[in-house]
Amino acid sequence: MKTAVLVSLMTVACALHPQAVDRKPGSGMRIASHYKSIQAAHDALPATGGVIFVPAGTSLAQGLVISKPVHLIFDLGIFSYSGSGDAIHINSGVRGVIIEGSGGAEFNSPDSGSAIVVVDPAGKGLNAVANPSIVIRNIAFTGPGRGSGTGIYLTGNGFLLENTQTTSFGGDGTVIDGKRGNSNSGVLIRARSYRNGGDGFYTFGSDANLISWIGTDSLANGRKNYLFEDAMCQSFLGAHSQPSSDKNSIEFIDSSANWGSLYIEPVKPFKAACIEFDGKSKNNNLFLMNCRSVKDAGIHNRWELAAPDR
């Protein structure tokens, strides 16, 4: 009788211990620090996926390949990736992926909050190959300030980027690729892209349509702050752009039926147009706040210079 009671108490104690629960067969919860790597924690999940919590101090040096539905939660802190590939790579077709941090960053402190820091100039932050309904929120991706790497490279219908930030990559900050696969009906809320060597936000492909840009922010990127190519039905609600020098910072190439409000801060001496439509862009309807001039070679584009900067 005493033996039975002792075994029962030990069972309860093990069940209450976090590591025992973590390693329980079939459990959908993993704590990455209990494993050799974040990858090992992912691989220990059942085929149906689950939740992985990544505590501060856990190494991301070797990167992570996601092949299951995963809710990946990063603690506050810096998670460095030293490879030349993708810090986080999501295999094509994986659904139900959520990647989030415990706090966002800001312009002057890109590594505050939860930050994936890419060290190698060729390294990339996140590559979502073709992942419907992916959610990325409350997390920053920071590059080494040189090279060819990209912060977020995304393909997937119905995506959500919320309170994300890409900073100091040698290539583009955030890319939405509607040529690689369907990337329609996405939403960006307070997504930010700062000081990247390429474009801040680059959206392209015939399947990068019906995307909503709400309170997004793009500053001081090497090429355009926003570049849209072969993209239709983008809607803007207070999207913000500020270049680092007197140059065009938003461009539409072969892109039509885009509409909404953009706040643009031109830089002295104010000679450059703040926005440009190429000859194949048509039927765009934009409300341009704080903009001085527009370069429009397209057809039936309608724009209003509202409260131009003086």
Confidence of residue 14 (pLDDT cuts 50, 70, 90): very low
Q: What is the mean pLDDT of residues 8-18?
A: 40
Tokens of 279: 């000859």
The whole model's pTM is what? Answer: 0.91
In-domain check, residue 135: yes
Which pLDDT score, from 0 to 100, does residue 13 have?
36
Give the pLDDT confidence of 150-173 residue by residue, as tens digits: 999 999 999 999 999 999 999 999
In-domain check, residue 169: yes
Q: Strands, E, within 75-207: which ranges?
A: 77-81, 86-90, 98-100, 114-118, 124-128, 135-142, 152-154, 160-167, 174-177, 187-189, 192-194, 201-204
Q: How many domains does one find in the chain?
A: 1
In-domain check, residue 164: yes
Distances (CA, A) of 148 to 95, 153, 266: 28, 13, 27
Answer with the residue of higher pLDDT: 5 or 175.
175
Q: What is the mean pLDDT of residues 202-226?
A: 97
Q: What is the mean pLDDT of the chain?
A: 91
In-domain check, residue 96: yes
- Expressed as residue numbers, the domain containing 90 is 76-306
In-domain check, residue 241: yes
Residue 163, domain CATH = 2.160.20.10
Give the pLDDT confidence of 95-152 residue by residue, as tens digits: 999 999 998 888 788 888 999 999 999 999 999 999 999 999 999 999 999 999 999 9
In-domain check, residue 43: no
In-domain check, residue 282: yes
Nearest Cα residue to 19 out of 38, 7, 35: 35
* pLDDT reading at 215 higher than 50: yes
Which helix or strand (DSSP H or E) is residue 5 part of?
A: helix 2-16
Helices (H) and strands (E) in the chain, counts: 3, 26
In-domain check, residue 54: no
Peptide bond before 269: cis, by omega within 30 degrees of 0?
yes
